[in-house]
Structure formats: structure tokens, C-alpha cells
Amino acid sequence: MCGIVGYIGKKNAVGTVLKNLKLLEYRGYDSAGVAAIDEFGGVYLKKAAGRISSLEKKMRKYPKSNLAIAHTRWATHGEPSVLIAHPHFDCKEKIYVAHNGIIENYETLKSALLAEGHEISSATDTEVLAHLIEREFSLGASNLEDAVKYALKHVTGTFGLAVLSKDEPGVLVGARRGSPLIIGVGRGEYILASDPSAIVGETKKVIYLNDDEMVVLTPKKRKILNLLNGAGSKNGLRKTVHTLEWTIEDSQKGGFPHFMAKEIFEAPQVIANAFRGRILAEKGEVRLGGLDSAKKRLSEAGRVIIAACGTSYFAGLVGKYFFEELGHLPA
């Protein structure tokens, strides 16, 4: 689980995204990062391993900026570190991407990009997205909208992403497939997030992107289009603007009267999200990126200890069964 927040508008963008990113920290906290276009047109990039508070300690003060994206993550590709923290960038350090989801054909895309001369420095699938977008510019894409749109045609898997470019400091692009992405609609501003709890503190007006939809945002305009059939490419799709009926205090409970009800009703969606990008039905495979990256450590382990309480304790009992019966490892 990871969290994304993007902002374009009148406020200090870095302060805005980090404030709201903290509300998503429950989604993952092994690393965090922020990228912004500063008042001089340069890129401000900071990353840190650990919680968002660790990231803030690296920042003496927030730069003046009206465009920023930020991310907090739980590693699925690669070990937790600053190197794999989002946002990731391309060879020219112009395109920055924050991404939730799993790119199933990551290895194939990475091999092709390396063969073309791209320099990929991390083991995360997200970095490949930045290089794919860069490649589309080299193939003739005239703007960030087209480059992202064409790049995503090569991607198999799930994504919720936010993208900015140093060359287009007034544009924020988002897209989703199998991973939530919501647009917060303000006055002369937009906020993009993977969960409404990161939006409700700024605005209660929201638009929910559907799978295979992309949005192009400027401070005063939005354009939503379909990635599959191109609908909306010229004037944008018409989408309903919904009103969130709960406050920032309610946001952690998602509008439910208490956390127990929230967990019960969210269970089907949580299970579906856990399967996305991990069950490869056509290959008859299950791919767990976090476990794949820890194969050596797991193979050397003599025992597994699962610490939990409440309903997590019962999940731990299931895990104990799998480790002992299938992995022949005491738990």
C-alpha cells in the first residue's frame, strides 16, 4: 500500500502535499519523497527512508512552489531505501513520477530501455515509467499529456500515478488503472490523491477517475480523457463532481461511524487490491514483489516470528500455517 498526493494552484505546493500525505501514512512508511517545480523553474527533490517526519527533517524550509507531487510507500520492488523512494525521474531529470500499483511487464520494459541507452539506477518498477515518458518525447510527443498517454500504452499492470515535467511547470498529469486516483476541485487549484482523506482538508468537491482514465490539470482547467479509446482527447470527458459529506476528522474513518465498521465494509476492496498485479492468471503464477526482493534473507531464516493483535492475530495464524505447512519453516 502506498499514498500519492499532487497539487497545482495558489498555495505553497510542497507544504500542501506533505500536510495531506501524512493522512495517508497508514498506507506505507518505509520511505517518502516530494518533487516540485520551484519559483525559479528548477526541480526541488527530497527523499528519505522511513516516515514523512524523516523527510521533513531534511528540509530546512519549503521552497516557493505551485506544483508538487509526493509519495509515501511500502516497498514491493527493491529493499526500502532512499534510492527506491518516489518520485522517480528520467535520464535528463526533467520528468518526475509518483506511482501506486505494480507494472507486470516491468522487466521486459526495463530491458528494452537499457538496450536503448537509458540509465536506470533503481530496482523499482516506477522508474521505468519516467523513462517510458522520456522515450515518447524523443519519438515526437509534443507535450506531457501526449507523452504520458503514449507511454502507458506499453504498460501491463496496475497504476495510479502523478506526473510533472520541468519543461511544463504549469501542468500536473494523473492516470489510473486498478489503483484509485481522485481529483479535488478547488478555486484556482486542484489536488490529486489516492484517497479522499488527503483531499477533504482542502476541498469537499471531488471527481473520481475510472480505470483507464487520465487527467491533465492546470490551476484553472482540467481535461479528463480515456486511455483506451481516446474519448475526451479534444475537449475532455464530462464527469460528475461529487461532494464529500464528511470532515477531515471523519476522514480516517471513511464516513463510517467507527473503525470496526470501516474495516468490515472495506474488506472486499482490500482483498481485490491485494490481488491486483500479483495474481497472473494467464501464467498461472502468483508474484509477491516484497517477498521476491527478500528471497536470500528468507532462504537463510531459521524461524519466523509474527507479532500481532486483534484481527491481525488471526491473519497471523493463517500466515503461521503457510510458513510451516508450505514453507517448512517454524513460525
Give whole-number Cα distances, 162 to 69, 216, 265, in Å.
Answer: 7, 10, 28
pLDDT score at 26:
65
pLDDT score at 172:
98
Q: Topology of domain 3-246, per CATH?
A: Glutamine Phosphoribosylpyrophosphate, subunit 1, domain 1 (3.60.20)
| Whether residue 49 has pLDDT greater than 60 | yes
Per residue in 127-136, pLDDT (tens digit) is: 999 999 999 9
pLDDT score at 250:
65
Give whole-number Cα distances, 323 to 76, 78, 291, 314, 318, in Å.
Answer: 20, 22, 13, 14, 9
| Whether residue 4 has pLDDT greater than 90 | yes
- Cα 8 to Cα 13: distance, rounded to the nearest angstrom: 7
- Cα 57 to Cα 100: distance, rounded to the nearest angstrom: 24
For Cα atoms 84, 290, 93, give the angle at the middle one, nearest 5 degrees. 15
Confidence bin at 245 (pLDDT 50/70/90): confident
Percent with pLDDT over 90 in the chain: 53
Confidence bin at 15 (pLDDT 50/70/90): very high
| Whether residue 77 has pLDDT greater than 80 | no
Domain boundaries, the chain: 3-246, 259-326
14: cell is: 510542497
pLDDT score at 212:
95
| Whether residue 21 has pLDDT greater than 60 | yes
Say what the pTM is: 0.78
Per residue in 108-167, pLDDT (tens digit) is: 999 999 999 999 988 788 899 999 999 999 999 999 999 999 999 999 999 999 999 999
